[in-house]
């Protein structure tokens, strides 16, 4: 069912990652810039992520002995520095997720370069190094951002939906790995209820909402694929939901041949098997189009 499964380390059947985007309250400031500072409810909903959920998530990862990836807008890195330092102290990866969650389709050209570089400065200053991975706010990566990532030496990005497993993106500027996402592995559809940003979903019960994710895992596991969740501390890190994820993780690590790792390690592995000739990845040449297509 997967034409070119990747040979995973130590004979693991499936590479796995639970990736968190720590958007905190950046979303309300971007969507309601004029009066967001007076909107305490959405600010508190966002702050729950770094203040309450992330320590809980880190505790689970430490107990189970796994390292994972977190994507954080630089404004959040600056405003929640102790949380980010705790993530790094535990050996997890922190990736680029824009400056203040600006949508790259809207913030383009010079404005995108400015936001991108401002974020790089924050990563260097607070995380102590440049990020290796990127995930676009609202998945809206553009050809301009792909080239910015290549120019800045990123090894991968994780916002596109073109395959089940990691693949290569090539442009005139060079190449980088794509670690693909999709809505079936994202927690906005089952759990987000956020009128101010125009996203009102009927909130599902923890077991019910998370069940779809485990079915995604079962399929990837059956075919030697790659399973990744794209989730948010203020949604999936809430008490009842994280309890279900914690129990699933414990059971899965005990009973399955899985390899949980940060995306930078998964990508380094795919690069290594590709370099050695043991693996041939699928390649997408970008851009798909250079001008508007419909009349």
- Applying CB under 5 A, the residues found at the interface with Zn ion are 21, 23
Q: Which is nearer to Zn ion, 23 or 102 (CB)?
A: 23
Q: Which is nearer to Zn ion, 23 or 216 (CB)?
A: 23
Long-range contacts: 253-257, Cβ < 8 Å, 24+? 253/64, 253/66, 256/13, 256/14, 256/221, 257/11, 257/12, 257/13, 257/14
Question: In sequence order, what E strands does the chain have?
Answer: 14-21, 69-72, 93-96, 133-134, 156-157, 167-171, 174-178, 193-194, 199-200, 226-231, 258-260, 283-285
Among the listed residues 30, 76, 75, the one whose alpha carbon sits nearest the alpha carbon of residue 49: 76
Q: Which residue is nearest to Zn ion (CB)?
A: 21
Q: Which is nearer to Zn ion, 23 or 93 (CB)?
A: 23
Minimum separation from the CB atom of position 23 to Zn ion (A): 4
Minimum separation from the CB atom of position 6 to Zn ion (A): 26
Minimum separation from the CB atom of position 194 to Zn ion (A): 12
Q: How far apart are CA 162 and CA 181, in angstroms?
A: 9
Q: Which is nearer to Zn ion, 69 or 252 (CB)?
A: 69
Minimum separation from the CB atom of position 162 to Zn ion (A): 20
Minimum separation from the CB atom of position 126 to Zn ion (A): 18
Q: Which is nearer to Zn ion, 36 or 173 (CB)?
A: 36
Yes or no: say if 153 and 169 are a contact pair by the CB < 8 Å rule: no
């Amino acid at each position: 069912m997967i034409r070119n499964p990747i040979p995973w380390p130590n004979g693991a059947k499936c590479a796995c990652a639970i990736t968190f985007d720590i958007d905190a309250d950046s979303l309300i400031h971007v969507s309601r810039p004029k009066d967001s500072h007076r909107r305490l409810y959405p600010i508190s909903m966002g702050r729950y992520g770094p203040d309450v959920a992330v320590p809980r998530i880190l505790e689970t990862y430490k107990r189970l002995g796994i390292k994972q990836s977190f994507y954080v807008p630089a404004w959040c890195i600056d405003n929640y520095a102790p949380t980010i330092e705790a993530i790094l102290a535990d050996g997890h990866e922190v990736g680029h997720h824009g400056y203040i969650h600006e949508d790259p389709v809207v913030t383009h050209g010079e404005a995108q370069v400015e936001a991108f570089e401002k974020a790089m400065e924050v990563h260097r200053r607070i995380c102590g190094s440049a990020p290796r991975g990127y995930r676009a706010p609202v998945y809206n990566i553009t050809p301009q951002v792909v080239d910015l990532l290549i120019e800045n030496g990123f090894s991968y990005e994780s916002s596109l939906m073109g395959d089940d497993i990691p693949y290569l993106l090539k442009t005139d500027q060079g190449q980088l790995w794509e670690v693909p996402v999709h809505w079936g592995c994202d927690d906005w559809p089952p759990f987000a209820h956020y009128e101010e940003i125009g996203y009102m979903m009927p909130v599902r019960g923890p077991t019910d909402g998370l069940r779809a994710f485990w079915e995604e895992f079962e399929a990837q596991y059956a075919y030697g694929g790659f399973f990744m969740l794209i989730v948010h501390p203020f949604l999936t890190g809430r008490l009842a939901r994280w309890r279900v994820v914690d129990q699933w993780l414990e059971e899965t690590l005990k009973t399955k041949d899985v390899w949980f790792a940060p995306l930078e390690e998964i990508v380094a592995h795919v690069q290594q098997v590709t370099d050695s000739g043991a693996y041939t990845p699928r390649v997408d040449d970008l851009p798909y189009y250079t001008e508007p297509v419909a009349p």
